[in-house]
Structure 1
């Protein structure tokens, strides 16, 4: 019996994965591990330089091949590789390389991993900036957290970023969406066909060890990559407004803030006398999360779902967050901690969770139930593989059904191709340095 050919996958990353630095990279690693479990042959490429905390993909059996922007060397590379599936990590990679993949590997399934809708996150950031300009009240953000999907659409629709991002979604055969709210927004407001979207949230394994007990934990914790603007904004809100309210009720309280790529402006906020500790990067995020009693995630804007909160649930650590932090994460389940809209409520709920062991244990058990219901790798991994195989088997018809995507590829890829070829020709004429 002739063995079935091994599926070849090319992943084109905006950056090389750093799973200990960001949830987005963690999600990419979960997808790669799902592919490896199928015995698929995987090549990971990126035009970016390696980051400080880059994962060693070669240890997992994944080839690492650097690539260049606006360079026809990619054409020869992808033609020789002849992948069955090409996964673009973030829409900018589809913009840069999608036309080359289509030209040289037309039968390859083209998939976009979004992590979150960047145009939604950017629109919410602009709304926060306008709110802060209009009012110096750093406490009440009820209106900021309350827009309907139509209002979100109105904020996004005229932006260049949304037009670029939505066009990339249409041009791909399948888009992996981490947030059900974003799926609803894309279908109901932007009119994307549901067949183009697949819900693929963060995927976790069941817990194998008991987490530390209430009495064995101490301090509040906040964690997140400082290069991610929502995380930096959250730190500023804690420093100026939320943390003083917590300390007024718990004078000995300490907040430990961890994050990759800590800039000097964040280090400057460190103040041991105020219990405000900027700790830099955590080599093991789950270890520091398990040692903390309460996780704080006061996010005033953002998109997708939050890796820090999934980590908190894994570690049995209750969390206090905002409607932005909780968005698309818990469906009908009770939140494992508290969701608040004002700094005062945030501080009050954080202190109550910190002091009340019964409330804390209830929140911990709610987090475990939520994890098991919505984030199991054993459920989402096979569902992803099934969806990819279905799309491969029905690819010609799926592309016919997606006329808008075909039209966008016809026009956009031509202009992108000519621009890339012009840049390459220009670069070749530059005298050597």
Structure 2
């Protein structure tokens, strides 16, 4: 009988698939490993939340852990996982050296979620009112930390082809250390559209996104101040409903029913909200990774209008399921036309199905990932031998992280 393989996931937060695309992404990763026979433990130092998924229902063990505490060493030694998956580079920084020290044979996998250094550099360029350049990444402190984390791990899961190219072409990361893994969904057919609300049965524009994510908050500000007034000129009866988890008071203050701008707060069922809407608006001005809200729109048969950043790496060379527009006035015009032209709207729906089936099929990627994982489990020594920079960083960089953590640990005891 084959020995059961153990996977430890160390989460930045507990998964909230109804609150963010990151939560949905984590659920997809859990699903892949569960389907391949792994016994999974999910650990996090985050506080429980009202909206976290019930891991026990998925057959996943839940473990609360502490930062900068020797108790984690005892826990991971006893668990002795075959694989440890770090949720974002900050978690690898915090716990990676402990895993390496206590479970040196465990395969270390990093799920980047998106390239934080790319998002940070773009946000900085936006706030400085200048064009982002790839070379901006090289001066970002977070880039040094994130790339070091990627090099220290045996494999990093990259969600965007654009980010794959950034890592291989500009940071010169060996492709053996990277695996492209986008969002993963089931195949759709045109018959699936018949089960969804029709053009006539849908109402209003919608935006949906977690407000703890800075690009989402900026997008809603942009909608309120620039995009929405232009849409109302084109289409005076238009209504926009803005949904998102964790809205702050500054978000709630944008609620203005007289102008058709409604702040709705958390959506209990995001799919239901998007399925009832006729068009998704997402004028995203900075960010990284893939936009879960736009893939969700395609799954719900809801065309969208977004920006170049919003659509980045999401549709290969296929036509978008709506429009991609960076100019404020053109964005507004396209949104109004898409909302009112049924034939154009239906074609956009079909474009979305083509994108889903071409770019996001779960089996295509999980079937490629698991052989790589199995190969690492069989012969990690050879893989690590060829990752000299990773070995170098293990030797030097971890020392500073380790001693800082031990200092905090000792300070907390005193």
Report the counterpart of residue 264 of structure 1 in structure 2: 249
The reply to whether residue 215 of structure 1 matches residue 200 of structure 2 is: yes
Q: TM-score, normalised by structure 1?
A: 0.93
Q: Partners of 1:333 and 1:290 in 2: how far apart?
A: 23
Report the counterpart of residue 303 of structure 2 in structure 1: 318
Q: Partners of 1:191 and 1:380 in 2: how far apart?
A: 23
Report the counterpart of residue 127 of structure 1 in structure 2: 125
| Per-residue deviation, 1:414 | 1.2
| Per-residue deviation, 1:341 | 1.2
Report the counterpart of residue 92 of structure 1 in structure 2: 90
| Per-residue deviation, 1:418 | 1.1
State the SS of the aligned residue for 1:65. strand
The reply to whether residue 274 of structure 1 matches residue 255 of structure 2 is: no
Report the counterpart of residue 304 of structure 1 in structure 2: 289
Report the counterpart of residue 5 of structure 2 in structure 1: 7
Report the counterpart of residue 174 of structure 2 in structure 1: 193
Unaligned runs of 5+ in 1: 135-143
Q: Partners of 1:52 and 1:393 in 2: how far apart?
A: 40
The correspondence of residues 241-252 of structure 1 with structure 2, limited to 5 A, is 241-252=226-237
Q: Partners of 1:52 and 1:175 in 2: how far apart?
A: 30
Report the counterpart of residue 140 of structure 1 in structure 2: none
**Among 111, 126, 137, which residue is 1:156 paired with?**
137
Report the counterpart of residue 404 of structure 2 in structure 1: 419
Report the counterpart of residue 22 of structure 2 in structure 1: 24
Report the counterpart of residue 149 of structure 2 in structure 1: 168
Q: Partners of 2:391 and 2:237 in 1: how far apart?
A: 61
Deviations along 1:77-98, one digit per CA (max 9) or x if unpaired, are 0000000000000001100010
Deviations along 1:385-413, one digit per CA (max 9) or x if unpaired, are 22211222231111011100110111111
Report the counterpart of residue 362 of structure 1 in structure 2: 347
Q: Partners of 2:70 and 2:330 in 1: how far apart?
A: 56
Report the counterpart of residue 139 of structure 1 in structure 2: none
**Among 182, 206, 214, which residue is 2:163 paired with?**
182
Cα RMSD for the two superposed structures: 1.1
The reply to whether residue 285 of structure 1 matches residue 270 of structure 2 is: yes
Report the counterpart of residue 55 of structure 2 in structure 1: 57
Q: Partners of 1:261 and 1:18 in 2: how far apart?
A: 12
Deviations along 1:205-224, one digit per CA (max 9) or x if unpaired, are 23457221111111000000
Report the counterpart of residue 75 of structure 1 in structure 2: 73
The reply to whether residue 117 of structure 1 matches residue 115 of structure 2 is: yes
Q: Partners of 1:412 and 1:21 in 2: how far apart?
A: 35
The reply to whether residue 386 of structure 1 matches residue 371 of structure 2 is: yes
Q: Partners of 2:5 and 2:367 in 1: how far apart?
A: 15
Deviations along 1:167-193, one digit per CA (max 9) or x if unpaired, are 000000000000010010010001100
Q: Partners of 1:217 and 1:383 in 2: how far apart?
A: 39
Q: Partners of 1:375 and 1:275 in 2: how far apart?
A: 35
Q: Partners of 1:117 and 1:37 in 2: how far apart?
A: 27
Q: Partners of 1:342 and 1:409 in 2: how far apart?
A: 46
Q: Partners of 1:222 and 1:106 in 2: how far apart?
A: 45
State the SS of the aligned residue for 2:23. helix
Residue correspondences, number: 410
Select between 263-272 and 394-403 the one with higher mean Cα deviation: 394-403
Q: Partners of 1:409 and 1:247 in 2: how far apart?
A: 56
Q: Partners of 1:84 and 1:262 in 2: how far apart?
A: 39
| Per-residue deviation, 1:58 | 0.9
